[in-house]
Amino acid sequence: MGENIQTFSQDLRCKSWQTEGILRMLLNTIDSDVAEDSINLIVYGTGKAARNKEAIRKMIELLKELQEDETLLIQSGKPVAVFTTSSLAPRVLAVNSVIVPAYANWEYFRELEKNELTMYGQSTASAWAYIGTQGIQQGTSEAFQAIAEQNFQGTLAGKWILTSGLGGMGSAQPLAIKASGGVSLIVEIDAKKVERSIKYHICDICTDSLDDALAHVEQAKQMQMPLSVALIGNAAEVYQELFHRGIIPDVVTDQTSAHDLLNGYIPADYTVEHAERIRKQIPEMYLEDARQTVIQHVKAMVGFKEKGAVVFDYGNNIRQQAALAGYEEALSFPNFTYYIRQLQCEGYSPFRWVALSGDPNDIYLIDQLILDYFSSNSKVKHWIEYAQANIRFQGLPSRVCWLKAEERILLAEKINKMVANGVLSGPILFTRDHMDAGSMASPLRETEGMKDGSDVIGDWPILNALLNTCNGAAFVSFHHGGGVGIGYSLHAGMSVVADGSREMGERFQNIFLGDVGVGIVRYADAGYETAQKKAKELGLGL
């Protein structure tokens, strides 16, 4: 495609930094150091950044030409039109993977996809906001620490955690478990992913022998030494084997791409190569094998729970897949958002920023700014210090950090001044995860078990996207099916650039209060007292 994000510079290819920021994020998302499979435009967990290479080529061309009173429309990864709007409007509006509710299932979706009418865009993949494994790292750490606090007096020291999947998101698990003091055994079928995890110090040890893996786990547990052991194997087979041997971990979860049984999840007795062949040649057989495997996989998880382990679904819809395949007890353990509901009620959720210059020092300068301004916030301070020491940048240097609305506003305004004064070497793009307080309707994840029964209400993410559009974010998107798959979630994305201008500086208050505030109001409306208090404090709600 002839475009290279490594040509970091101050040179604008577009008419403004708002558009240039969007272009750099598109290229970053498909960069081979960031995406799981950049050749096929798959960013993480089977989600694509764009429909095909031709769509990317056209988007680059259109973004370069886009005027400051124009908006580019993207329909499921394909550019479809440029409209004259206004300088305050977003430069890009994108809607991904949305289909009319009565048809919102994988079967129908795959037919549309085959006819090149749509694509599966996950969440930050098609919102061009993916920054590699770091993006989910702090959230994963928050989740495992919450589990430690709620079950093991605040630490995972001397505990062992059985999990699986070393893909884009799953690779955040080993470091997060170690950060809380625990020992992890991570089952991954793809030897290349295991090799990568060793290369980048995500895992400490790898083996293809269960006995060998267990010996390392046992030793580390006895010594209360944090350790991550990657085991090459099929998660369903290993979970069953452990259960039959009567070996019960302290905590069990899973991050295989079970949301998509055909393209993401590998059935028992399949190698990666065999899976690639059979899913193309005999998809019905593949799906049937995957269904039988996922039932056994989740049966073992339920068995572990009955024997006293803390078991939870890690946002990949594995429970529902097993339930759909015919295992009725599959939904008998909770999903991970159960542990973070109160944080979302306060609007405390995963914010992220990216140095568009490509200069890592910009990120370190912002780290220092945070350490100075949020020094009394021990969680933030701990995370930034941890991230500096342990996180490898993938693609454009970036940082994720859970922050509340008021903290995002303060930070964005200060960073904008640093850009204006030349302290930073270039503009900074702000974006966020889709599991942010205001963005997600997902009845088997973020909105499971809502106090007022509003789990499946899908209005809120649409309000979120509309409000971000009114408030002048540079990129606003609305999506279907991220994380848990087609039919199970609706969510919204946004990005905006601190370009150092006074005009942008003035927008941040409305943008971030609106973006996060929708979530606080959503939880307040559902009857959560923490959210009601927070909404009052921020002057939101009726």
Q: Near ligand NAD by CB under 6 A, which window of 10-18, 264-272, 462-470, 491-499? A: 264-272
366 phi and psi angles, rounded to 5 deg: -70, -35
Cβ proximity to ligand NAD: between 90 and 167 the closer is 167
State in angstroms the smallest separation of the CB of 214 from ligand NAD: 17
Binders in 38-57 for ligand NAD, by CB under 6 A: 44-46
Q: How far apart are CA 419 and CA 503, in angstroms?
A: 13
State in angstroms the smallest separation of the CB of 138 from ligand NAD: 11
Q: Name the catalytic one among 14, 203, 206, 401.
A: 401
The residue length of the chain stands at 542
CB 276 within 8 A of CB 286: no
Asked if 132 touches ligand NAD (CB under 6 A), the answer is no
Asked if 258 touches ligand NAD (CB under 6 A), the answer is yes
- Angle (CA) 4-5-8 rounded to 5° is 115
Asked if 165 touches ligand NAD (CB under 6 A), the answer is yes
Cβ proximity to ligand NAD: between 486 and 498 the closer is 486
Q: How far apart are CA 321 and CA 445, in angstroms?
A: 13
Binders in 489-518 for ligand NAD, by CB under 6 A: none
Cβ proximity to ligand NAD: between 120 and 374 the closer is 120
Asked if 164 touches ligand NAD (CB under 6 A), the answer is yes
Cβ proximity to ligand NAD: between 192 and 536 the closer is 192
List of long-range contacts for 323-331, beta carbons under 8 Å, 24+ apart: 324/291, 325/291, 325/292, 325/294, 325/295, 326/291, 326/295, 327/295, 327/298, 327/299, 329/302, 330/295, 330/298, 330/302
State in angstroms the smallest separation of the CB of 213 from ligand NAD: 13
For residue 161, the cross-strand partners are: 184, 251
Nearest to 491 by CA among 28, 94, 179: 94
- Copy the structure tokens of residue 535: 């909404």
x/- track of binding to ligand NAD for residues 168-207 (CB under 6 A) = xxx----------------xxxx--x--------------
Q: Near ligand NAD by CB under 6 A, which window of 86-94, 162-170, 363-371, 495-503? A: 162-170
* First-residue to last-residue Cα distance in the chain: 51
Cβ proximity to ligand NAD: between 83 and 200 the closer is 200
Distance of CA 225 to the CA centre of its chain: 28
Q: Near ligand NAD by CB under 6 A, which window of 107-115, 258-266, 323-331, 460-468? A: 258-266
Nearest to 107 by CA among 281, 274, 284, 266: 284
Residue nearest to ligand NAD (CB): 167
DSSP, res 393: P
State in angstroms the smallest separation of the CB of 325 from ligand NAD: 14
Asked if 315 touches ligand NAD (CB under 6 A), the answer is yes
Asked if 128 touches ligand NAD (CB under 6 A), the answer is no
For residue 184, the cross-strand partners are: 161, 228
Asked if 481 touches ligand NAD (CB under 6 A), the answer is no
Question: H or E segment at 72?
Answer: strand 70-75
Choose which of 235, 301, 465, 526 interacts with ligand NAD (CB under 6 A): 235
| Total number of residues that touch ligand NAD (CB under 6 A) | 34
State in angstroms the smallest separation of the CB of 315 from ligand NAD: 3
Q: Near ligand NAD by CB under 6 A, which window of 147-155, 207-215, 249-257, 421-429? A: 249-257
State in angstroms the smallest separation of the CB of 80 from ligand NAD: 26
**DSSP class per residue in 73-116:** EEETTEEEEEEE--TTS-SEEEEES---GGG-SHHHHHHHHHTT
- Angle (CA) 103-468-522 rounded to 5° is 70
**DSSP class per residue in 126-181:** TTT---STHHHHHHHHHHHHHHHHHHSTT--TT-EEEEE--STTTTHHHHHHHHTT
Cβ proximity to ligand NAD: between 21 and 168 the closer is 168
Does residue 203 carry a catalytic annotation? Answer: no
Q: What is the three-state SS of 407-422?
A: HHHHHHHHHHHHHHCC
CA torsion, ordered 200, 201, 203, 206, to nearest 10 deg: 80
Cβ proximity to ligand NAD: between 95 and 275 the closer is 275
Asked if 236 touches ligand NAD (CB under 6 A), the answer is yes
Cβ proximity to ligand NAD: between 90 and 483 the closer is 483
Q: Which residues sit at the interface with ligand NAD, rule CB under 6 A? A: 36, 44-46, 136, 139, 164-170, 187-190, 193, 234-236, 255-259, 264-266, 314-316, 435, 483
Q: Show which residues are catalytic.
A: 401
